[in-house]
Amino acid sequence: TGQYQNLIVDKKGQNQNVGFIQLNRPKALNALCDELMVELTQAVTDFENDGNVGCIVITGSEKAFAAGADIKEMQKRDFSQAYDENFTAAWTKVAECKKPIIAAVNGYALGGGNELAMMCDIIYAGEKAKFGQPEIKLGTIPGAGGTQRLTQSIGKSKAMEMVLTGNPINAEDAEKAGLVSKVFPVEQLVDEAIKLGETISAQSKLVSAMCKEAVSASFEMSLREGLHFEKRTFHATFATHDRMAGMTAFIEKRPADFKDK
């Protein structure tokens, strides 16, 4: 944590195998300035490389997961600067991480904040969470997946309504729409996300990564290609220690001893 200005980073869970990242820039409701995104990239990379970590939880504060990209940083940019600086360069790591990532969203997840949550694999929400893409009110449009991942997640009509009006939806509606998988009381949310992280971390980390890769492929491929990719990945699990360990343990009626290989 000492190395970060905008994050609190820790390991959680009984076996310390859940990487925990709390966005911590309270004065700007966790607005995602460049420095914060560079730090987030570093923290996610470190957990990805940590053999003991099987899952990562990203959360914010009770008031805000993240209120978007930093508007004060963006205000003066012109097209050539935005283009030259490739102003989304620090925004790819969360979506590309091999390990499963859970977003635990309390409060505002707006603009880039909602986009960051959608880059994660699973979203849990607190009862007071608000999900929105308000960019239209700033005279711009979502720039980190809000027109793409949101549409894939909740369908055209709801996504269009959200990005064209800028109006957010609450946690209950987000759950109904399939944007989030579960809603919890505000103060229980982070613990529940960590518990889920522990459940995921207890499986083979190697096979979890393969499983995540296969589900993620469904967003990029046709059904035929996706099924082919899935089949080959499934076949590949038969080259692992952990596939044998898992099936043998089932037959011998005991817990599996996964070695992540």
Say how far apart CA 171 and CA 153 lie, in whole Å.
15
- The CA–CA distances, whole Å, from 113 to 8, 31, 91, 205 equal 17, 8, 11, 27
- Set 135, 192, 198, 230: catalytic member: 135
- From candidates 47, 65, 108, 131, binder to ligand CO8 by CB under 6 A: 108
- From candidates 87, 127, 182, 218, binder to ligand CO8 by CB under 6 A: 87
Say how far apart CA 88 and CA 76 lie, in whole Å.
16
- Identify whether 69 is a catalytic site residue: yes
Q: How near is the Cβ of 261 to ligand CO8 at its closest, in Å? A: 37
Q: Which residues contact 117 (CB under 8 A, 6 or more apart)?
A: 65, 103, 105, 109, 123, 131
Give the dihedral of Cα atoms 191, 195, 198, 200; nearest 10 deg: -130
- Set 69, 159, 171, 256: catalytic member: 69
CB-wise, 136 or 209, nearer to ligand CO8?
A: 136
- Set 13, 64, 111, 115: catalytic member: 115
Site for ligand CO8 in 120-149 (CB under 6 A): 134-135, 138, 142-144
Could you give phi then psi for residue 125, rounded to 5 degrees? -125, 150
- Identify whether 107 is a catalytic site residue: no
From the list 26-34, 42-50, 190-198, 245-253, the region that binds ligand CO8 by CB under 6 A is 26-34
From the list 66-74, 96-104, 176-184, 189-197, the region that binds ligand CO8 by CB under 6 A is 66-74
CB-wise, 31 or 129, nearer to ligand CO8?
A: 31
69 binds ligand CO8 (CB under 6 A): yes
Say how far apart CA 182 and CA 177 lie, in whole Å.
11
CB atoms under 10 Å from CB of 39, counted, come to 22
From the list 8-16, 53-61, 68-76, 214-222, the region that binds ligand CO8 by CB under 6 A is 68-76
Give the dihedral of Cα atoms 177, 183, 189, 190; nearest 10 deg: -30
- Identify whether 192 is a catalytic site residue: no
- Identify whether 115 is a catalytic site residue: yes
Note whether 186 and 62 are within 8 A (CB): yes
111 binds ligand CO8 (CB under 6 A): yes
- From candidates 7, 21, 31, 206, binder to ligand CO8 by CB under 6 A: 31
Please give the residue whose beta carbon sits closest to ligand CO8 in the complex: 111
Helix (H) or strand (E) holding 173: helix 171-177
Note whether 21 and 58 are within 8 A (CB): yes
- From candidates 16, 88, 216, 237, binder to ligand CO8 by CB under 6 A: 88
β-pairing verdict for 169-170 and 130-132: antiparallel
| Residues found near ligand CO8 in the complex (CB under 6 A) | 28-29, 31, 67-72, 87-88, 91, 108, 110-112, 115, 134-135, 138, 142-144
- Which residue numbers are catalytic? 69, 112, 115, 135
